[in-house]
Structure 1
């Protein structure tokens, strides 16, 4: 049956058509998002929810979304989605951060021009029949120093445009490497240095615990006298009351704000101050940007629902369609390895280490790690998936670490999972053969070659004669057919293991009969989602 998507906000007809063309059953109700009670009533019918800003995907809505797999936000801001609730429920939340990058960057540049030349006030004065040339003395941008806080996707475009205006650009961004700074033609500096040197300051960072009030009263006081400040990123990055006081005192020469701590902003300390330009969150408000993000979210959601490709997810590692084709077997293997560990472990797991060797170490390790953790957690909670598993692991206090290394053995690549509990360590390794099928290649340090089946039996025993015969006889007596039989041992007369792939679930009687022989230390039926 085709996946079903609800569009509860105003998206373009072209976006609706993308869903239809991809074979998605789409329900376009552009005003439904404003009716939270109606949305709550119907949301359980859908696999996907496409929204803008009017729809509020609250915890209550998400709890009622029994079939929902993905929420797509046409735009960059997802303040209207309870991401924590979605992650716990295993629902991917994706946005479209690139569809409005140019538009938002251009708005920041426009706001910088507007405040530099006092264009809005000059326009209002001229409309009023005045001719006040001497009143609106501005400043040039050429030769001035622009301080960019946040040199990511949008910030780097602003840097490029500012360099085209012959400005000197300095940037503060903890994630900006020296190589990238050189590539985009900026000087990387610390925040205090930026505050001291910048003639204009523009912000391009998300609102997080680290960036909230980044331009606090204390930091604003460190700015160069006559600075002009532009914020087209997020409200809450600047102490608006402190900025208003510095504007009144003349320390700050001007400000241009498109976003505010409280929106819609009907009152604000910055309103009605001279040389303060304000707009109602117009950063992404161009015809091109609105169309771009709508088309992008439709493509992204369709890709995920139809192929499993994940792009621009905020609560799960992204996996492109190309990566999904190559990584599919490795993601499945990672899930099987984790699921084996989960089924074999009946005490709390304190730590998980995942080793990626050879060719797999160059793949999307975040996605493979999420698949492994999901496999582990599924043993105790079948509803867990790659989205919710890391949340569950964090809630349980499980420490997750990864290691990658160059090819170190006979296999071109393999994954090894090791867990630590209060009483033991347990490990398993696997690889993907050229036929695309996952294989287990090592358990407890013992080398094996086992195909993964839906129903399996794991046993441990001392390496003595008669084990194979006993297993075959008892399973045959209980009408269990063996599809694949793998043996391994540490050394002669030492510990040995067997891993059997069988055609049907193992009857309880077969398990009891095997245990009753006294030959086996462990007899464990296993199931895998193959």
Structure 2
């Protein structure tokens, strides 16, 4: 049997190559090649192990006639064309947890650097100034640390901060109160965190929901004298607004390891007093580089030799026999998870996935994983069916699977129910023709709809004239309605309107829709 061949195209710990060989792979370590050289060479390999330098473009993938897996030693996969890899049938893996301790420690280091003005004091002293009275710091003991994001890295930061006798509060929609108690921290909403925290540190991925989470408005809500640290992702903070907050003194100090544009050769923050920056060093320790190299080698070798899948970004773990039957259910489950995640995403405490009829005869694990992936994809660009269950467990989300042998109105049904601080919210769907996912119920109201593309969700009082008013508003705004779905609890009661739109709806039109008589909720959805 021919051994799988792996190319390591970026500088990596030499033990990675040793692991590949121990596990039955042939390895070549050829780094620093041009894109043209990589394209000429890649056709000989089954696996490609990279860091951040190699750019795996569509052109590279088109030339990769034998490639089966790409392994990124680290978390970010911006340098990999994942859609092209998926179309080519190439699995893309990363190592999302190998840098966790290193990044958490860097955040703690920057907290201390801010508290005691270490960079400025060092520069002043080495310049022979001895300005002892200029650098009056603050203790971290007894101060409140606000975590925006309490996942893997955030939880490590919390444990270190508690060891420093800080009080820790956290904002994370997927953190349950029980998990918060277990961690020894307090779960709060974002406004409460901004008002109470003496230090704020961010540990959340960059998504549409988290982009500029510390914008000008939210920075104004922070406690005067707050100090802010970001070792997560550039784009979480409005950098121009942060500069203004530093200049005004409202924010006492800020430390960034990441920037919206990298490499950051210029920034409005450069030269601002009480600002510290480092060049994306969160993962830059010897230990972290060894960890991610060894992990990516183990994962790739396991896939190439045994077919095992770990931390894949574009492939569920399914056997060949299960896949044809389960794929339509997984598509339905992911859409239901995405729907309930977009409509009821705050303060989730539990989630129940119920299957009945034909669905009850199938393996429920892929269906559950698909629901969780849909639920969490609004908050993480790297979530998928493989890592979604882990992320749910990490945040203490109570996940339950319920199987009903009965067959109800539909021959097959999947129901997703989430527990929130406002009570339970439930959506349900079926398959038409055993292949086409279809929504059939939303929050107790019967409504049949395809969940595709850009949609608009409205809850309103059932009253004459409303449909005409919303149609007129969208028409005058140049937004064409593709399909129109309506349901209600009873005549004159609460009604639900679900519209598919040919174009995304702007915030301005959303605001106008909210002003229409009888409207209770307006939400833009995307599938």
Equivalent residue for 1:179?
Answer: 178
Residue 353 of structure 1 contacts residue 419 of structure 1 at CA under 8 Å; is this kept in 2? Answer: no
Superposition deviation, residue 406 in structure 1:
4.1
Distance 1:217 1:354, change over 3 A: farther
TM-score normalised by the chain length of structure 2? 0.65
Are residue 294 (structure 1) and residue 269 (structure 2) matched? Answer: no
Distance of 2:359 and 2:179 partners within structure 1: 28
Alpha-carbon displacement from aligned partner over 1:462-517 (angstroms, at most 9, x marks no partner): xxxxxxxxxxxxxxxxxxxxxxxxxxxxxxxxxxxxxxxxxxxxxxxxxxxxxxxx
Task: Name the residue aligned to 1:202.
Answer: 201
CA positional deviation for 1:164: 0.7
2:29 is aligned to 28
Cα shift at 1:420: 4.4
Cα distance change of structure 1 residues 78 and 25 upon mapping to structure 2, 3 Å threshold: same
1:144-177, Cα deviation, whole Å (9 max, x unpaired): 1111001010000001111111111111111111
- Alignment partner of 1:272 is 2:265: no
Alignment partner, residue 333 of structure 1: 321
* Aligned CA distance change for structure 1 residues 308 and 139 (closer, same or farther; 3 Å): same
Question: For the residues of structure 1 that align with 2:201 and 2:327, how far apart are their CA atoms?
Answer: 48
Tell me the TM-score normalised to structure 1 length: 0.64
1:126-525 equivalences in 2 (<5 Å)? 126-317=125-316, 319=317, 331-335=319-323, 337=325, 357=360, 360-361=363-364, 363-365=365-367, 405-406=402-403, 408=405, 420-421=431-432, 424=433
Displacement of 1:332: 3.2
1:135 match: secondary structure: coil
8 Å CA contact 2:255–2:276 kept in 1: the answer is yes
C-alpha displacement at 1:335, in angstroms? 2.7
Query: Do the aligned partners of 2:357 and 2:404 also contact (CA within 8 Å) in 1?
Result: no
Match of 2:322, SS?
helix
Question: Shift of the alpha carbon at 1:405?
Answer: 3.9
- Between the aligned partners of 2:434 and 2:72, the Cα distance in structure 1 is 42
Residue of structure 1 equivalent to 2:508: none
Matched residue SS, 2:168: strand
Aligned residue pairs, count = 366
Whether contact under 8 Å (1:149, 1:205) holds in the other structure is yes
Displacement after TM superposition at 1:336 (Å): 5.1
Give the conservation status (yes or no) of the 8 Å contact 1:334–1:369: no
Aligned position for 1:117: 116
Provide the C-alpha distance between the structure 2 equivalents of 1:426 and 1:202, rounded to a whole number of angstroms.
45
Distance 1:197 1:419 in 2: 46
| Residues in 1 aligned to 2:196 and 2:21: alpha-carbon distance in whole angstroms | 53
Larger Rg: 1
Residue 84 of structure 2 is aligned to residue 85 of structure 1: yes
> CA separation in 1, counterparts of 2:196 and 2:328?
58
Q: Secondary structure at the match of 1:332?
A: coil
Distance in 1 (alpha carbons) for counterparts of 2:327 and 2:133: 75
